[in-house]
Every structure is written in C-alpha cells, then in structure tokens.
Structure 1
Amino acid sequence: MRPLALIAIFMSCVPTWCCGPGTSNIDNLIVFGDSYTDEGRLTYFLTHDYNPPPAGLYIPESNLTSSGGPSWPLLASKKLGAKTYNYAVRGAVCTNIFPGILPTVDDYEVPAFLADVAYVNPTTGTNTLYTNRTPSNTVYSLWIGANDLGVNAFLTDSQPAGETLDAFIDCIWPTFDNIYNAGGRKFVLFNEAPLNYAPLYRSLADGGAGNVPRWPDKESYNTTEYEQKMLEYVTLVNTIFDYGSPFQLLVKKRWPNASFSIFNVNQLISDIYNSPSKYLDEPANATGYYAECPDTLQLGTAGCVVSSNPLSSFLWYDELHMSPKVHDYIATEFVNVVNKKSKYGTYYS
C-alpha cells in the first residue's frame, strides 16, 4: 500500500474526544451486559425456575441490584429522559465457552432483544413493547467482561483447551452486527473496569479480600501474581477495543452510517480509586467494601454483614461490584458520552 493511502486511512481513524455535535432526543436506552448493568432480569430467572422472560414482556427497572441500590442504566435513563430496555443478566459472559455460567450475550441477551423486536401482540397485532424505536432516538450499549476475565474463567485458566482471549473479543463485534441488522445505529462500548482494583482481585498484600464465596480458595493462590494477571488482561482487552473499534467501523466499514463511542469507564473508576475524597462521602473508602454477603447471587443485604459507615462513602458495594454512588458517576458520564461531551469518551462516526 502506498504511503499516502496509509496516511489517508490513519487520518480517517483519528478519534474525537470532547467535540462534535451532541446527541439529543434519546427516547430508548437498550443495554446488554452482566451484573454491572442488570436491574432485574436475573430476578426473573430466579423467581421462574430459571426460565427466561417470554418475548414481549417488559422487565421493569429495579433498585434491587448488585450495587446495593440503583444502577447506572436507571440513573442514565432518568438523566436522558429515556426508557430503558435492559437485557443484562448478572453472571453473564459474552460467549458460552465456560460451563455453568449464566446466560450469555450471544446465546441469550441479543436473541432476547431480537425476539422482542419481532414480537407481535396477538391481541393488537402490533409490537406493544417497542413502539418508538428509530435509528436516531435509540442508543445501544454493551458492558461485558467482568466474568469472562475473572475467577472460574480466564483468570484461573478455566477455559476449555485451546480457547484464548480471542474467544471473548470475537464475541464483541458480532454483537453489534446483530444490533445493526435490527436497526441500531448509535453504539456505546464500555471498556473493562479496573478489576485489579476490586477487592476480589486485589492482592492480599494490597489489602484485597481473602477467601470469599466468589473465590473460596483465593488465599491458596499467589494473589500478587493474579492481581497483575488481571491488570494485564484488562489492559490488553482495552487496547484491542481502542484499536479494533475504529478499524471495524471506519476501515472495514462494518456498520455503515453508524456512530460508535468507547466509554473509558476504566479511567473513571481509576480516578475515583486514586482520589476517593473527591468523589465519595466521608469517610471515603476506595479499598474496602460495604457488604460481606454469603451468596454470590445475593440481591439486597439480607444475611450480609454491612459497614457502620454510609454506603455512599464506599467505591465498592461488595468485593466485586461498585456502589450506587459510583453508578451515579457512571450514569452521568454515560450521558455525556452519548452527547459526545465526556473526557472519558472516544467517538467515531
């Protein structure tokens, strides 16, 4: 390839960080992911013998979440004046290579969305779930990876023989293919949170949690080694997102006429971790966690041991999940990303 052609491709992929026209009149927020996003879909599974919701059933917003309160989709939808359609499931991974893990993005969440889009109410003969979904008034977001990269998955080498992180990455882009083919044009991809800061994955030497239900034999491992391994995985995946997103959109032209934003939630949470008193109530605590719970699928604090300090003073609700206070910051910056006004956003179109 000639040098001028290379320069042209490079220039077409230069992102914007805090400029460009904002997005207004967002009526629908459609989200996919895991416990960082789930607001009630897991509850439906648990209360219906692990059967999924039928097509056409709206799962209402809920404060009974893994954060101990309202999570970012509910908060963001209120800031946007939009309605949330939440397909995230606590415990989910992107693709089903890990046995025993809850429904995946590619096997369940996106097909559930497509089934809802195709649903026809037998009484009205119309789709009564999505009544006002257009390419311009709907944003689609994906935040996945906390379970894919974690314990009982890649971190502890629990993947099937021959599987690599490519299996995770190769699930991301087809997810947006399916959404695009269903009419989606405004995409937001969250990068990976700094899981190495989470008490679950932080080393014992750095004050991380010891043996907990999510990792009952953690103390038998070299926790410093695994903290660094998590950092390496998160950094690698986020670098692939940074280079892969403009390549898929602008070079391969995979989603014509679509816009694609990367939300650097990793940096946002890192900023809170490194300067907790700027973001959290007193006594600001970015290393400990509010609730110690006996069940990995715990919703609410029944049976949990909770801190005497306010939940709003903690970055971490439990050893893996951020508190509602942090979710509010995430929601605020998500709205700014949607409007192309966040320093944590990178924008391609």
Structure 2
Amino acid sequence: MAFLQSVKLVFALLALTTPSWAVGVAPGQIKNFVTFGDSYTDSSYYPTADGGYAWPTWAAMYGDLNLYGFARSGATCSNLLTYRPFPPIMGWQLPAYLNETNNGTLELNPEETIYTIWIGTNDLGVNALLTGSDAPATSIVEVRQCAIDVLKILYESGARNFIMQNILPLDLTILYSNYSYPNTYWDLERNTTEWNVYMKELVRAGNEITSLMLDALVPTLPDAHIASFDSHGLFTDMYNNPQNYFNGTAPHNVTGCIHSCVYTVDSTAEPACTIANGTDADSFLWYDELHPSQQSDRIVAREITAVMTGESNQWATWLS
C-alpha cells in the first residue's frame, strides 16, 4: 500500500511540474502565439476594424509575447462552405502558416507556442448562413466542424497548445439587433426582429456544437493542451455590466457604437455618420455596427493573456 501511495505521489508531482503531462500551460512556458481568424483578430494593419489595435497586439504587449498573426479581415473558416472574397483560414491563412514553417521561414518551439482560433462571425452573418450562402447545403454543423479541423491540422503539423475562442453574442451587435438600422454592412430592407432571433439561435447552437466537438476531440490528441475560451460569456457580461469594464468620459453605451453610419434605404444619399472622439470612446462596447471597440479588445487581450501565461481565468476552461 505504501508503495502504491508513493507511485501516486510521484505522478501527481510530475503532473504539476511537467507541462506536457499537466492540464493547461505553465506560467512562463509560452513565448509565442499564432492567430487565425477574421477582422476581430486581424493585426496586420492599423487602424484595424476596431479603430485602433487588434486584441493580439495588446496581448503581445501585456504578456511580453511574440505575435505571429495570420488572421485576416473578412475571413470565413472555408470559402467552400461560406464564400467571401477574403482570405479564409482553410484556403489561405493555414496554408500560409504551413508554408512558412515547412520552408524554415518560421521556426517555433511547439512547447513555447500557443495557437488561437476565433472564427465564425462571417460564416454566420450576412451573405452567409443568415441570408443564404453560395453553398445551400452548408449548415452550422459544417461551419463549426471546419473550426475543429483547423485545430486538428495544426496538431498534425506539430502544434500542441491551443485556445479555441467561441462566437461572441452577435445578436447584441447593432447589425443583428432588433433595433438595427441600414448601415455599412447591410443597407437594404430586412426584418430586424427575425434577424435578431435567428442570429441568437445560430450563435448558441454553434457554440454548443463546438463544445461537444472539442470534448470528443480532446482524447484523440495526446500531449495537446486545449483551452475553450468563452468569448460569448465575456461579451455578455460586458453588455450586462458595463460599469465593470468601461471607463470613458461619456455614459456607458452598449447599444450604440463609436462610429455609426445610418443609411437611407433605396437612396444614393451619403449616410449620416457620427463619431465619438477622445476618451468618450472608452465608454463603448462596440466600435461600429459589427466590431468590438478598442476598449473591448483591450479587455479580450487582458483575459486571453492570462490564459496564455498560465494564470487562472473565469472565461477559460482547459480541456487537456
């Protein structure tokens, strides 16, 4: 009995001290992170879709990490499922990453590198699942399976540490709200209540499907460390409790946006645009009708950085 207890103690200590055996990553383990996704994550230009720096740029600064950004604005997971004329993960971002690692341009130690995947906004939205895509047989199931496949391909290429970010509550954005108006992203007639209800169901179903798929995937990937990050929960909390997150000089605002442009249906007239300037902008959840604000992105960066640096975080669950 004493021998068995000693063996159990040894394995328990190894689980705590050896990153490849433990759940999650250890403090100080991660030095690099690689991003895949859409405009919510695209750090390749400035100002980005949030009017400033994308969250990965802030995270690299907060965690003193090296950022390798492959996310691109407008992206879907795969243009074979939901086509948009932008660089998708499967057709462009992932091949670009694999090409750089295979030809030696990019050399990353797997133990010291973590990969983030945040995709779905454009798959679910206008000109895709919400309004009908070019591939009518595509459903939310195929779209979320694609995101899981991205993780599997990265694992097969040697990656071992991952953060899968679920879809934020798109029904709370101005574009898909029940009080929406003609804007930059959709200036035609539509039933705003119907869009709001449908988008809420698409997001909830998509996130639950992703969670179930991840649970099934984890046991098949030895030595992988996979975190599920609840972007939906974080943004819902920011929406419901803005006083805990926003510190601008204007009143807290979660139903409007910093850069709003109201179009007139069936008109060539210029839109009526309003912009919140200076420190007033830090009071807003949304930058425009679809994208999070700079302050929101700093919050995302803070929370994701905590996960990457091995700290406990209420929005992340390590599955392996």
**Stretches of structure 1 lacking an aligned partner (at least 5 in a row):** 1-18, 41-61, 120-126, 296-302
Aligned AA (2:126): V
Which residue in the other structure is 1:269 paired with?
235
| Distance verdict in 2 for CA 1:319–1:336, change over 3 Å | same
Instruction: Tell me what 1:26 maps to.
Output: 30
Match of 1:192, SS state, is coil
212 and 21 in structure 1: CA distance in 2 versus 1, 3 angstrom threshold:
closer
Q: Are 2:141 and 1:166 equivalent residues in the alignment?
A: yes
Query: SS at 1:332's partner residue?
Result: helix
TM-score (norm 2): 0.84
Q: CA deviation at 1:99?
A: 3.6
Once superposed, what is the RMSD of the aligned Cα atoms? 2.0
Task: Give the conservation status (yes or no) of the 8 Å contact 2:24–2:225.
Answer: no
Residue 114 of structure 1 corresponds to which residue in structure 2? 98
**1:156 to 2:131 alignment:** yes
Task: Check 1:304–1:225 CA distance in 2 against 1; reply closer, same or farther (3 A cut).
Answer: closer
Segments of 5+ residues of structure 2 without an aligned counterpart are: 1-22, 264-271
Given the alignment of the two structures, is residue 64 of structure 1 paired with residue 47 of structure 2, yes or no?
A: yes
Residue of structure 2 equivalent to 1:57 = none
Structure 2 Cα separation of the partners of residues 348 and 148 of structure 1: 25
1:346 equivalent to 2:314? Answer no
TM-score normalised according to structure 1 size: 0.77
Q: 1:101 corresponds to which residue?
A: 85
2: CA distance, partners of 1:35 / 1:21: 27
Aligned length in residues:
285
Aligned to 2:245: 279
Task: For 2:292, give the aligned amino acid.
Answer: M
Aligned to 1:130: 106
- Conservation of the 8 A alpha-carbon contact between 2:229 and 2:317: yes
Give CA-to-partner distance per residue, 1:292-316, whole Å, 9 cap, x none: 3599xxxxxxx96412572111110
Larger helix share, 1 or 2 = 2
Q: Report if aligned partners of 1:72, 1:330 keep a CA contact under 8 Å in 2.
A: yes
How many percent of aligned residue pairs carry the same amino acid?
32
Q: Distance in 2 between matches of 1:308 and 1:38?
A: 23
Q: Which residue of 1 aligns with 2:203?
A: 234
Match of residue 158, structure 2, among 183, 187, 193: 183
Q: Is structure 2 residue 283 aligned with structure 1 residue 313? A: yes
Superposed displacement of residue 279, structure 1: 1.1
Return the alpha-carbon distance in structure 2 between the equivalents of residues 231 and 21 of structure 1: 33
126, 133, 141: which one aligns with 2:116: 141
Contact 2:83 2:128 survives alignment (8 Å): no
State whether residues 134 and 183 of structure 1, in contact with CA within 8 Å, keep that contact through their aligned partners in structure 2.
no
Q: Which of 168-177 and 86-95 deviates more?
A: 168-177
Is the contact between residue 145 and residue 213 of structure 2 (CA under 8 Å) also seen in structure 1?
no
> Do the aligned partners of 1:95 and 1:167 also contact (CA within 8 Å) in 2?
no
1:186-232 superposed Cα distances (whole Å, 9 cap, x missing partner): 0100000000000010012xxx3x01121111xx2221111011000
* Pair 1:74-2:49 in alignment: no
Q: Is residue 39–residue 64 contact of structure 1 (8 Å, CA) maintained in 2?
A: no
